[in-house]
Structure 1
Amino acid sequence: MKKAIFSALVLVSVIVGCKKMDDPVVTPVVVPPVVQENVGGDVSGVWTKGGTYKITNHLQISEGKSLTIQEGATVIFSDSTVKPEFIVKGNLYVLGTDQNPVKFTVPDAWKVARNEFGNLWGGIIASPKSEELVLKNVIMEYGGAVTTESSPSVKAGLYKAVAGSHVPAVNFTNVNGKVVIINSRLNNQNEDGIYLEGGKVIIANNVIYTQGVSGGDAINIKSGVQADVAYNLVYSPNTNALKLSNAGDRPVQAYVIAYNNTIVNAGWRRPSIKGGSIWVEAGVRAELYNNLFANDRFGIKRDTKLTEDQVQGRSKFANNYYYGYTQQGVDQFQPTAEIIAGTNDVIGKKAGDNDPKFVNFPLDNPSLNQTFNTAWSFKLQAGSPALGKGNTTFTRLFADGITVGGVLYQSPAPATYVGAYGTN
């Protein structure tokens, strides 16, 4: 019996061995990522993973159409004469990953000192018909070109609809729309980073730097917007990290809950006193918690002639944290009729009070310096006095999330620390 079993196993082995020898060798076909030259005009469908798309004319997603841009794609705006705008009348879903972000950029040869503030392509400009916009793990850089009479945004009556205006990196206007901008980076922009005039919005875990030449706020919100703005790092905006306003007379009051943001060197490069960290005005309903202000020109500032919503209990300010390396900076965030004091704020009186103990940032960094060092770390060292100062009891707008492109996005929970980052 054992002999029979052994013989059978040998036979099977021979058959299997012969079959393997007879099988053809299959070599996997490697399909290189797509490269598309001279892209412009109407676009929709899918731009594929790892693809390169060289933009030489204005882009448009038509009403009722959608474009999805997959992880690792690179979108290069490569015509210095046209300086293309990206007009979105339909829906745009830009879906990078942490390891493979999508890039909206320009040729490497253009990334020189004279172009530090972009002005090399337009920006993403959505019409009131656009319903959904997602920017997830996206790098947007060197935008903010100035409009001309022939600009699509001017012809379509979008953004400011006039020639001679630098456009923001992102503009959205539909009060019934939805916007998610998360885990992304906006840098080297000539004007505002994000300019919103409508929609249910989550802006979280982004980094914005080297933005705004003669004006410009990192995040500019008008009437029609309901937004959670959290865990963003903003470095050296020309004016404010956040400008919050109910201007525009849209049917939805601007309501913004901004929490756990780190704002550094804001406002010093603007010669006027328009702002310098967060600016509130014109009936906006604002709740500001757990924000860390380091070396900013002013504290949270209001327009005293056109104030924020001051109906009792509607606008709230609490648990914000201030550090100033210079006495001038410290003096300018002391509470006044213009500078808003919050409950449980941490505000020192002398230069150097309340050092937040960043892991790696020179606190004597010049206030007019707009150049960001990617080696800096705004995480907090163990023992930082900014730990344990956060408020976690407030209710954010989109804790239960908003569904965009079939995906549920939720605003992140607040932290017990202040600022955008905890410890290592």
Structure 2
Amino acid sequence: MLSSLAFAGCEKANIDVDTTAIDGSATGEVSGVWAKGSIHLIKGDVIVPEGKSLTIEEGVTVLMDTIAKPEFIVKGNLYSLGTTENPVRFTVLDAYKTQAKRFGKMWGGILCGPTALEVVLDHTIIEYGGNTTSDASSSVKMGLYKAVAGENLPALWFANANGKLIVQNSIIRNFQEDCTYIEGGKIIFANNMFYTTGVTGGEAMNFKSGCLADVAFNLVYSANTNALKLSNAGDKTPQAYIIAYNNTFVNTGWRRPTAKGGSVWVEATVRTELYNNLFANTRFGVKRDPKKLEDSRSKYSNNWYFGFDQTTVNQFQPGSNDVVAGTNDVISKVANDNDPKFVNYPTNTAVSNADFNTSWDFHVQGNSGTLNKGTTAFTRHHKAGITTSNGITYISPEPSVAVGAFGTKI
């Protein structure tokens, strides 16, 4: 537990490198390797300089000072390489993880600027951040993210259309607004979980122009606004093209009862393909901006919609509320029809609930109708993989005919 810590051998990171293998503290420029199992107390804003890399090994805890509320700025490369047994954690002391502070705001976020070439977050937990910027914030002074005071920082911002971003097997939770805000790059988001995020707004995954992304096998629970916001807004090339398949979205959008609060929002000439996604008790389904339409080549197919009550079912019917109709979709017409039969999740849970129970299990039972309703007849962007400078190739997952992110338990 991280309720109290004594830091031995603490040294301020020098202007070039902090490669200490023992527990330490960091402020300023950092690069090199943070060794397996070490704890690093971040007492102020840290920066991975342009042209340099920071590798964070399995089991490392990156502990944020809740008074300083630091920003983790990446101008070079970041490789956060946890494992199932020993994830990397960007977090705060356990004493601060209270119900009153469940939406974080106790540090900034991981902010990867236009010169960040490669960012890999594998088996990484990012939690309790999303602080609001001020004129004194490093991100504002450096012109990063939205570069103004009063913005709630996302857990992850990435802004290099020529860069590479892989986020897999990770958890983003307990943030004030957006989980991610992505402005370009070759991208894989796979096998992640997003929950307890967004007070008055915020998407789980927010993509803008310059993005070529595969988004697959993710669970999004009760995002304040949308699980996915897909847009070609901005002036970057290539055109945003997002392929999202085999994701599970539950209770999304209800805590922001406006036109944009929903499940998947498409706008501004984004090109998208959505297949095999499971929408359970979500507000709306796939919804377009009628004033800024998506690319006409976009495709929607083999998605599954379930609502426990009639109010929910009425929300996601195509032809109303600018909800988009797909091909071969399974869309409930009456309450509780087409129950996906989760292994352990009460589908009558209040749609306004933002708290996540880690004992829930969103695998489906062996008699679920979702198991053979998907399609594999499409081509994802990164089937051949994204190869990073250290020679590792990350491949987006093969699609499954089982709708949703989990299928049955093996």
TM bucket, shorter chain = over 0.9
Find the residue that maps to 1:237 and give its secondary structure.
coil
Distance 1:384 1:145 in 2: 41
How far does the alpha carbon of each residue in 1:364-421 deviate from its partner, in whole angstroms, 9 at most, with x for none? 0001000000000000100101110010110000000011242100000000110000
User: Structure 1, residues 234-259: CA drift from partner, whole Å, max 9, x if none?
Assistant: 00000000000000121210000000
CA deviation profile, 1:171-217 (whole Å, cap 9, x unmatched)? 00000000000000000011111110010000000000001111100
Match of 1:26 in 2: none
Supply the AA of the counterpart residue of 2:24: Q
Q: Equivalent residue for 2:53?
A: 66
Kindly state the Cα deviation for residue 275 of structure 1 after the two structures are TM-superposed.
3.1
Listed one character per residue, the Cα deviations across residues 127-175 of structure 1 (whole Å, up to 9, x for unaligned) are: 1011000000001100100001111110111111000100100000000
AA matched with 1:68: T
Matched-pair contact (CA < 8 Å) for 1:33–1:52:
no
Code of the residue aligned with 1:34 in structure 2: it is: I
Q: Please, which of 312, 315, 321 is the counterpart of residue 329 of structure 1?
A: 312
**Hey, what's the Cα distance between the residues in 2 that align with 1:61 and 1:283?**
34
Structure 2 match to 1:292: 278
Residue deviations 1:12-50 (CA, integer Å, cap 9, x gap): xxxxxxxxxxxxxxxxxxxx972113x211000000000
Picking from 246, 262, 281, the partner of 1:260 is 246
Structure 1 segments, 4+ long, off by >6 Å, are none
The residue correspondences of 1:76-87 to structure 2 (distance < 5 A) are 76-78=63-65, 80-87=66-73
Residues in 2 aligned to 1:127 and 1:295: alpha-carbon distance in whole angstroms: 36
1:300 and 1:308 map into 2 onto residues whose CA distance is 12
Asked whether the equivalents of residues 50 and 72 of structure 1 are also in contact (C-alpha less than 8 Å), the reply is: yes
- Could you tell me which residue of structure 1 aligns to residue 8 of structure 2? none
- Match of 1:363? 347
**Among candidates 263, 266, 284, match of residue 280 of structure 1:** 266
Are 1:317 and 2:303 matched, yes or no? Answer: no
**For the residues of structure 1 that align with 2:212 and 2:79, how far apart are their CA atoms?**
20
- Structure 2: how far apart are the matches of 1:404 and 1:319? 33
Q: Residue 326 of structure 1: CA displacement?
A: 1.1
**2: CA distance between counterparts of 1:336 and 1:226?**
29
- Residue 333 (structure 2) aligns with: 349
User: How many percent of aligned residue pairs carry the same amino acid?
Assistant: 59
- Matched-pair contact (CA < 8 Å) for 2:276–2:403: yes
- Paired position in structure 1 for 2:195: 209
Q: Is the 8 A contact 1:94 1:138 kept in 2?
A: yes
Cα deviations across residues 267-323 of structure 1 (Å, max 9, x unaligned)?
Answer: 00013121310000000000000000000011110001101101xxx2100000000
Are 1:275 and 1:301, in contact at CA under 8 Å, matched by a contact in 2? no
Which position in structure 2 is the counterpart of 1:408?
393
Q: State the alpha-carbon separation in 2 of the partners of residues 107 and 365 from structure 1.
A: 30
Q: Could you tell me which residue of structure 2 aligns to residue 27 of structure 1?
A: none
Contact kept, 8 Å, 1:34 with 1:50, in 2: the verdict is no
The amino acid that maps onto 1:319 is N
SS in 1 for 2:372: coil
- Provide the rounded CA distance (Å) in 1 between the counterparts of 2:77 and 2:235: 25
Q: Pairwise mapping of residues 359-398 of structure 1 onto structure 2 (< 5 A)?
A: 359-398=343-382
Q: How many angstroms apart in 2 are the aligned matches of 1:127 and 1:135?
A: 16
CA distance in 2 between counterparts of 1:89 and 1:197 reads 15
Number of residue pairs the alignment of both structures matches? 388
Match for 2:33 among 46, 55, 63? Answer: 46
Whether 1:35 and 2:23 are equivalent positions in the alignment is yes
Over the residues paired in the alignment, what is the CA RMSD in angstroms?
1.0
Instruction: Please give the alpha-carbon distance, in whole angstroms, between the structure 1 residues aligned to 2:223 and 2:259.
Output: 14
SS at match of 1:386: helix
Name the CA distance, whole Å, in 2 between partners of 1:153 and 1:126: 10
Structure 2 matches for 1:126-165, cutoff 5 A? Answer: 126-165=112-151
Q: 1:114 Cα deviation (Å)?
A: 1.4
Answer yes or no: is the 8 Å Cα contact 2:69–2:108 preserved in 1. Answer: yes
Partners of 1:234 and 1:220 in 2: CA distance: 13
Work out whether residues 170 and 192 of structure 2, in 8 Å CA contact, stay in contact via their aligned partners in 1.
Answer: yes
SS of structure 1 residue aligned to 2:157: strand
- Letter matched to residue 372 of structure 1: F
User: Could you tell me which residue of structure 2 aligns to residue 185 of structure 1?
Assistant: 171
Q: Paired residue for 1:246?
A: 232
Amino acid of the structure 2 residue aligned with 1:333: F
> TM-score, structure 1 length as denominator?
0.90
Give the letter aligned to residue 391 of structure 1: T
Assess if the C-alpha contact under 8 Å between 2:255 and 2:261 holds in 1: no
Q: Give the structure 2 partner of residue 218 of structure 1.
A: 204
The equivalent of 2:12 in structure 1 is none
